[in-house]
Amino acid sequence: MSALSVDALRSRFQAALEAARTPADLKTLRDEFLSRKHGLVTALVKSIASATPDEKRTLGAASNALKQEIEAALDTREAEAAASAPPKDALDVTLPGRRPFLGRRHPLTQVRERVEDIFLAMGYQVIEGPELEDDWHNFEALNMPAEHPARDMQDTLYLASPVPVPDGGRAATLLRTHTSGMQIRYMETHEPPVRVIAPGRVYRRDQFDATHTPMFTQIEGLVVDEGISLGDLRGTLNGFAEQFFGGRVATRFRPSFFPYTEPSAELDVECQGCAGKGCNLCKHTGWIEILGCGMVHPAVFEAVGYDSDKYTGFAFGVGIERLALRLYGVDDIRMFYENDLRFLEQVAL
């Protein structure tokens, strides 16, 4: 080893330092030259032991100077790198922003609110009642006594044992099969005139398939006053259909049967999918059934103590899921309950 080696080592270090870019490069460099075990400068110093006394003097001083020079150069560069490096949790302002996901109300809620808004504008009041119901309000007062064959139309979910209802009177024995019980609950506690809608969940012993669910949503409507006629019913529901579907929409009333209305009807609207020409949505009839309705049966008035000679009224029941299916052109009711965001983000009023 000679003094030349010191110069050669210095040149090699300077070239390497020039090429170093990252803190990792500097660390590699420090290791290569200054490591106690295998560093190049360390090897140079160790070689002095075998040199002549004259060589020892000059070489010792030169190698020491080189060692300090390299250390100083690395210290400087490392300090610079540390100063310019961003802290680990730094905010990178050049990254594109993250778009926040905006939640919205469920399609079924939107449809329910749309129906409510239309009737609120017509002066109706929104009321709510219990989903656990007793036999009187769900059946008997609605002109369906114990042995009435119409009870077979409803596959009822009965409770294993009766539970008290908040109103304190009768014990609940079933999950309500329709919101029509709210007609009774309201008339029992209010005198005419009546103008209410009652939205809420109802339950049936149905299978869960494309067109059935064991739980769904209805909106019940009830109007009672002196001189209420079938014409009022038709005018009200035609107005509702026009507002709900937007613009003029053809409707028809088809005779039907419910124990608690007489006469009873189903309201059909012209199919929005085919403008009445016939398509899969309307099963090629050109019409879509949206609700059941009728004039309140005198037996219902008697059950709640209203004078059926003095008062008349009409009632209707809208299925929210059914309306939503028509409105969104969806063919499987289960999509409303599976909470797949890809679906929920697509359907909106």
Residue ranges that bind Zn ion, judged by CB under 5 A:
271, 273-274, 279, 281-282
Cβ distance to Zn ion smaller for residue 215 or 274:
274
Nearest approach in angstroms of CB 333 to Zn ion is 18
Cβ distance to Zn ion smaller for residue 235 or 329:
329
Nearest approach in angstroms of CB 281 to Zn ion is 5
Cβ distance to Zn ion smaller for residue 210 or 275:
275
Cβ distance to Zn ion smaller for residue 122 or 281:
281
Cβ distance to Zn ion smaller for residue 214 or 273:
273
Cβ distance to Zn ion smaller for residue 59 or 330:
330
Nearest approach in angstroms of CB 269 to Zn ion is 11
Nearest approach in angstroms of CB 317 to Zn ion is 23
- How far apart CA 341 and CA 188 sit, in angstroms, is 43
Nearest approach in angstroms of CB 249 to Zn ion is 13
Cβ distance to Zn ion smaller for residue 109 or 285:
285
Nearest approach in angstroms of CB 209 to Zn ion is 21
Q: What is the 3-state secondary structure (H, E, C) of the chain?
A: CCHHHHHHHHHHHHHHHHHCCCHHHHHHHHHHHHCCCCCHHHHHHHHHHHCCHHHHHHHHHHHHHHHHHHHHHHHHHHHHHHHHCCCCCCCCCCCCCCCCCCCCCCHHHHHHHHHHHHHHHCCCEECCCCCEECHHHHCHHHCCCCCCHHHHHCCCCEEEEEEECCCCCCEEEEECCCCCHHHHHHHHHCCCCEEEEEEEEEECCCCCCCCCCCEEEEEEEEEEECCCCHHHHHHHHHHHHHHHHCCCCCEEEEEEEECCEEEEEEEEEECCCCCCCCCCCCCCCCEEEEEEEEEECHHHHHHHCCCCCCCEEEEEEEEHHHHHHHHHCCCCHHHHCCCCHHHHCCCCC
Which single residue brings its beta carbon nearest to Zn ion? Answer: 271
Nearest approach in angstroms of CB 286 to Zn ion is 6
